[in-house]
Amino acid sequence: MRFEYIKSDIKDPYRNLAFEECLTDHVYPGYGILFLWQNENTIVVGRNQDVYSECNVSDFKLTGGKIARRRSGGGAVYHDAGNLNYSIISAASDLERCRYQDIAGRALSFLQIPFEFNGRNDLITKGRKFSGNASYRLGEAVVQHGTLLIESDTDKMERFLTPDRSKLARNHVHSAGSRVIGLKEVSERVSIESLSEGLIRAVSAESFNGSMDDEKLTELTRFYSGDEWIYGGKR
């Protein structure tokens, strides 16, 4: 399996989600793409979630925050500069050859971070979550994307995320922020850069050599930033 990687230097969620979707046009059997990206002060909700049930919309937007909706399912997450997002984009036929559990696991092992899978889509250490993952399929391509929490603002996370209380009870915690841990608490060696390099090394990726369809990228950025998609989930 051959991989190439690309790092985004843009922290806009709509542009990054659009870029991720555009990359699905490039993969084919035996070739995948690792996309590394960050968002600034953003809440991203899952494909089928009600925005107003998952976060304090009005107060968050007053802080300059952006709300986005991704194509995959799963719960709402808070992104800032202390969080690294990764997308593993491949042909659906190659899914078993590039499962996120294996790739993220190798990257964490390079940094000697102890971890385990919780049986769902989360990675945990010291009994607390530091990574979640979700996926979606688009044509013959599949996208596995996830977060790696390094040193995000958990106070903001607690203040603005409002998950269902029954979900918190199942995890025996009182707030969204109390059930997570930043990897910086586990090891001072961990940084955005070291985790990025670990993921690249995990798939022996070379730098992305393709070209983007700028017209499609602009169109998709407009779509992802539109209220109809963000608040209604309509495509």
pLDDT, tens digit (0-9, with 9 covering 90-100), for 1-29: 999 999 999 999 999 999 999 999 999 99
Mean pLDDT of 122-149: 96
| Alpha-carbon gap, residue 47 to 50, rounded angstroms | 9
Range of the domain at 201: 2-229
In a domain, 50, yes or no: yes
Domain for residue 161, yes or no?
yes
Q: Is residue 207 part of a domain?
A: yes
| Residue 162: pLDDT over 60 | yes
Percent of the chain whose pLDDT exceeds 70: 93
Three-state SS for 28-56 is ECCEEEEEEECCCCEEEECCCCCHHHHEC
| pLDDT band, residue 115 (cuts 50/70/90) | very high
Domain count, the chain: 1
pLDDT at 235: 64
Looking at 21-35, 87-101, 107-121, which range is the least confident one? 107-121
Residue 234 domain flag? no
CB 107 within 8 A of CB 201: yes
Domain containing residue 163: CATH number:
3.30.930.10
Output the pTM of the full model: 0.93
Is 235 a domain residue? no
Distance CA 69, CA 100 (A): 21
Residue 205 domain-assigned (yes or no): yes
The encoded tokens of residue 5 equal 């990687």
pLDDT at 178: 52
Quote the DSSP letter at residue 233: -
| Residues contacting 103, CB < 8 A, separation 6+ | 34, 88, 199, 202, 203
The arithmetic mean of pLDDT across residues 161-167, rounded, is: 67
